[in-house]
Chain A
């Protein structure tokens, strides 16, 4: 009984930081519709800034003052980020802003590395709250008790701000209809900035408050990000009580999980999330997202059309130049190109889902890595010949996508995206923790291609055939009746239904097909590297694909491929430098601001302006 209560208290204490970060994310999403991937980074900054301030400020007052100041400082940094990075891209298509926030993650990572160095910082103790109190004989850290008391006050203050003040009323009104709020004379720009700063400040406060428990390190940003997303989704996007309840549920479950079923820790919260979303598709306290409720932003989509003769010739010339690469390129060039080709196929498969289907998956790595693992496991455990394993990779991934899609497609928008993320994480934790079967963190080694394909050049050709073939096939499907039906479902679900299109079935097929193609890329990948590790299933891999698709241009068919090729190439150059993340982050932010239609879309606009390409208006 004592242990039970002690653990309950620890769980509740842990919920504090999680709630603060999650409520900030939730607020920001509610008003600005931005999924702030960088929210974990602000949490990390809060910890680092708090650490430095605690070193400077003495005593009890200094400690708590430092924590408050850290929250304030991070809020100011958030304000700067909003003004410099996000303001220029509010008019961009929905979800494009999340790419910018991804750039912010990279920049903050390197800035933190530069400022505080690579070593983990040990959390300073809170003066006067060192040691434990005994509750029914069980030790509970005094600082945990302090957190238990503080968190409800922060929640209460937030509640007061949101319900009892004019600012809160405006924020809630803007969450529902920001255009109308503007039409009533409220400057939305400052409302957005204020909310973003508040959200970031809360994250910073959370980071600083957990210092005595966990210290500060450079992994904090991604480590908390998933948990925060899960909390926000379980609680319901935009709901503060929901965030609080969900943070408590997740934290308490986690503490008990660690004690009783330690191997469950990574999976537990995703299982809870899946269960909650199955019963309440918009979270515990969430509201249904009505499509178009927040007004359409950006220009209407252009119809896609089959490539003209000019473009076809250009593509043929490009493929021919690639095919001749072994004649003039070094072995390294061939390996690099192989990598790029595989990544292009992976990105193109996501682009198909995202651009044509309007289905934003945050967990597409599940099918890439999944395909790779299917092949790897078959070779390792069943001695399957490489050729057969390679064929089964996309089939396995496609089947996985079918099952996951069946569950996820009950939801839409951000909830759909989060659920796909949850499943990807689930798969990742499964592979990571089931060491005896999957090799766990050590991965699977010795997965080489068959004799006739061994060697850099033969495998390069093998990849070329399947990548180019795969991309062409994706394009072909986009122009098929199925592709039309998919786009119809994206643009107007009701209209499509009324026309006799079974939108759910079409989306299921599209999801499975995209998974299949990602699995094909995974199959190519595993035999090009000769090994597979769990990080191919990680969130960062999913995000990589998402980023390049957005940067390349969601609304253009070639966007995924161009983005992938461009960024894989740039990455290869940049990673040779120490602070490559900073450069990469700035590059991403730059592209987002300068090319809001993506690389392809913006190039096309410029070409049209210069008269190289015909304007879309002239053609009709």
Chain B
């Protein structure tokens, strides 16, 4: 469904992604793992074309999206949940969702605000509140809900468990499982295995922008030395 082939991305002179290649198949949840600074966020941004790869190719549903304007990438059905959340703090919860709203595409789920409020009951209570009044966990849920409003077929989740309370992390795990059951494809990035273990089928480990491992979670569990070398424990 999503394929990166030999992607190289730079910030100015800094070479951040080095010949990165991996695929995400339909219906899978793939965990992109690596330490702080490994290039996970840059990978996400390179897929969304927020950072344009200097070489290599990104294809989504068979279509080359390299160099495409970000809004067109999003319209194709790629949903992006950034690490910094970036909710619109001056807008209410309902308005934040409105910004994300896009008509459903063929074969995707057609989300409504009510369905999302069922999925995230905390948000329902706060629909009239401004984004800046939300807690960190609520903000994280809002970013996911906002992205789902665009009815994406693949969601990029950049470090969804970062900086939120364990009880909320638990909720996030459930949400991702629900979404997966509904047929959504997910690429999520994490620094450690705990979250990935709960939801992911496949894992890709990167270090210094280079791929170090690509396989199922079972394979990764069978090789603790890989985990010790590239992930924080």
Query: Which A residues have a C-beta under 8 Å from some C-beta of B?
Result: 166, 169-170, 172-173, 175-177, 179-188, 287, 299-300, 617, 620
B89 at the interface (CB under 8 A from A): yes
Contact of A184 among B69, B91, B146 (CB under 8 A): B146
A180-B82 CB under 8 A given contacts A186-B99, A188-B71 = yes
A183 touches B99 (CB 8 A): no
Say what secondary structure dominates the interface of chain A.
helix
B39 at the interface (CB under 8 A from A): no
B208 at the interface (CB under 8 A from A): no
B138 at the interface (CB under 8 A from A): no
B91 touches A172 (CB 8 A): yes
B13 at the interface (CB under 8 A from A): yes
| A187 vs B50: C-alpha distance when bound (angstroms) | 14
| A170 vs B102: C-alpha distance when bound (angstroms) | 12
B150 touches A185 (CB 8 A): yes
A169 touches B95 (CB 8 A): yes
- Considering only CB atoms, which chain A residue lies closest to B90 in the complex? A176
A177-B86 CB under 8 A given contacts A182-B71, A186-B71, A188-B71 = yes
Contact of A172 among B12, B48, B90 (CB under 8 A): B90
Q: How many residues of B are counted as interface, with CB atoms below 8 angstroms from the partner's CB atoms?
A: 27
A617-B13 CB under 8 A given contacts A173-B91, A185-B102 = yes
In the bound complex, residues from chain B placing their C-beta under 8 Å from that of A185 are: 71, 74-75, 100, 102, 150
In the bound complex, residues from chain A placing their C-beta under 8 Å from that of B147 are: 184
Contact of A177 among B88, B100, B102 (CB under 8 A): B88
> Of residues 16 to 69 in B, which have CB atoms within 8 Å of A's CB atoms?
48, 50, 69
Show 14 A/B contacts (Cβ-Cβ < 8 Å), sorted by A: A166-B98, A169-B98, A169-B99, A172-B95, A176-B88, A181-B99, A182-B70, A183-B50, A183-B80, A183-B82, A184-B147, A185-B100, A188-B71, A299-B12
Min CB–CB distance A449 → chain B (angstroms): 51
Contact of B74 among A169, A183, A287, A620 (CB under 8 A): A183
Contact of A180 among B75, B86, B95 (CB under 8 A): B86
Min CB–CB distance B145 → chain A (angstroms): 12
In the bound complex, residues from chain B placing their C-beta under 8 Å from that of A180 are: 82, 86, 88
A184 touches B90 (CB 8 A): no
A173 touches B99 (CB 8 A): yes
A170 touches B99 (CB 8 A): yes
- Considering only CB atoms, which chain B residue lies closest to A616 in the complex? B13
Most buried by A among B71, B74, B80: B71
In the bound complex, residues from chain A placing their C-beta under 8 Å from that of B82 are: 180, 183
Most buried by B among A170, A175, A179, A184: A184
In the bound complex, residues from chain B placing their C-beta under 8 Å from that of A182 are: 69-71, 74
In the bound complex, residues from chain B placing their C-beta under 8 Å from that of A287 are: 90
Interface string of B183-222 (1 = CB under 8 A from A): 0000000000000000000000000000000000000000
| A238 vs B90: C-alpha distance when bound (angstroms) | 12
Min CB–CB distance B54 → chain A (angstroms): 13
| A187 vs B102: C-alpha distance when bound (angstroms) | 12
In the bound complex, residues from chain B placing their C-beta under 8 Å from that of A181 are: 99
How many residue-residue contacts, CB under 8 A, span A and B? 66
| A147 vs B102: C-alpha distance when bound (angstroms) | 40
B100 touches A184 (CB 8 A): yes
A300 touches B98 (CB 8 A): no
B71 touches A179 (CB 8 A): no
In the bound complex, residues from chain B placing their C-beta under 8 Å from that of A175 are: 90
- Considering only CB atoms, which chain A residue lies closest to B12 in the complex? A300
A-B pairs with the 8 shortest C-beta distances? A185-B74, A173-B99, A180-B86, A173-B88, A182-B71, A185-B75, A182-B70, A187-B71
- Considering only CB atoms, which chain B residue lies closest to A188 in the complex? B71
| A595 vs B69: C-alpha distance when bound (angstroms) | 23
Most buried by A among B12, B70, B89, B98: B70
B91 touches A169 (CB 8 A): yes
- Considering only CB atoms, which chain B residue lies closest to A299 in the complex? B12
A183-B90 CB under 8 A given contacts A166-B98, A173-B99, A617-B13 = no
Min CB–CB distance B162 → chain A (angstroms): 17
A176 touches B71 (CB 8 A): no
| A179 vs B73: C-alpha distance when bound (angstroms) | 13
Min CB–CB distance A242 → chain B (angstroms): 14
- Considering only CB atoms, which chain A residue lies closest to B80 in the complex? A183
| A299 vs B50: C-alpha distance when bound (angstroms) | 15
| A182 vs B74: C-alpha distance when bound (angstroms) | 8
| A184 vs B150: C-alpha distance when bound (angstroms) | 7
In the bound complex, residues from chain B placing their C-beta under 8 Å from that of A620 are: 13
Most buried by B among A169, A175, A180, A300: A180
Interface string of B130-159 (1 = CB under 8 A from A): 000000000000000011001000000000
| A188 vs B82: C-alpha distance when bound (angstroms) | 18
| A433 vs B124: C-alpha distance when bound (angstroms) | 61
In the bound complex, residues from chain A placing their C-beta under 8 Å from that of B70 are: 179, 182-183
In the bound complex, residues from chain B placing their C-beta under 8 Å from that of A188 are: 71
In the bound complex, residues from chain B placing their C-beta under 8 Å from that of A173 are: 88, 91, 95-96, 99
| A166 vs B99: C-alpha distance when bound (angstroms) | 8
| A185 vs B79: C-alpha distance when bound (angstroms) | 9
In the bound complex, residues from chain B placing their C-beta under 8 Å from that of A187 are: 69, 71-72
Interface string of B88-123 (1 = CB under 8 A from A): 111100011011111000000000000000000000
| A170 vs B97: C-alpha distance when bound (angstroms) | 11
In the bound complex, residues from chain A placing their C-beta under 8 Å from that of B50 are: 179, 183
In the bound complex, residues from chain B placing their C-beta under 8 Å from that of A176 are: 88-91
A184-B12 CB under 8 A given contacts A173-B88, A176-B90 = no
Min CB–CB distance A479 → chain B (angstroms): 23
In the bound complex, residues from chain A placing their C-beta under 8 Å from that of B98 are: 166, 169
Min CB–CB distance B16 → chain A (angstroms): 14
Most buried by A among B69, B86, B102: B86
- Considering only CB atoms, which chain A residue lies closest to B11 in the complex? A300
| A299 vs B12: C-alpha distance when bound (angstroms) | 7
In the bound complex, residues from chain A placing their C-beta under 8 Å from that of B75 are: 185
Min CB–CB distance A218 → chain B (angstroms): 40
Taking A169-B98, A176-B90, A183-B48 as known contacts, 4 extra A-B pairs with beta carbons closer than 8 A to each other, sorted by chain A number, are A176-B88, A177-B88, A181-B99, A184-B100
